[in-house]
Amino acid sequence: MSLYNPLMGEGFVPAYQISSTPWVTSSLVALGEIKQYTFPYVTRFVNIQNVATGSGDVINVAFTSRGFQTGNYFTLKQNTTLNADIRTDRIFISGSLGTNIKHEVLAGLTGVFAAQFQIITGSSGFQGVG
């Protein structure tokens, strides 16, 4: 007799109600460079902080690489933070002003595999993501 063990999908609410597993990185991004962070599981929340030392150091944060081209991104100046309860499997960070801008990313991961997450693009009908 075979067993059917269903996987949690992105709409499985209990996965977002329990404490999440931390995912952390600290890195530098150069002017014009785009860094992609791909998570192994869908996030419950994302915290991104621009911890640059220069007063003019600015990063942009998007959820698709095309978001930078279409204006669908957040701008974080020096010592500012984006805190958001967002379900995603990746983020993109770009250096907007300054050089070698230090940033930190903290994401809370659920038990939902990233492969179970839908692809979010403007061409799939999602407006405002790129």
List, for residues 17-46, the tens digit of each pLDDT value: 888 899 999 999 999 899 999 999 999 999
pLDDT tens column, 38-84: 999 999 999 999 998 888 899 999 988 888 888 889 999 999 999 99
CB contact set of 82 (below 8 Å; sequence gap of 6+): 46, 47, 48, 49, 61, 74, 76
Q: What is the pTM of this model?
A: 0.83
Structure-model confidence comparison of residues 123 and 16, the more confident one = 16
On whether the CB atoms of residues 109 and 21 are closer than 8 A, the answer is yes
Instruction: Pick 7 or 100 by higher pLDDT.
Output: 100
> Which structural domains are found in the chain, ordered by start?
18-114 (2.60.120.770)
Using CA of residue 36, residue 31, residue 62, residue 47, what is the dihedral sign? positive
pLDDT at 130: 53
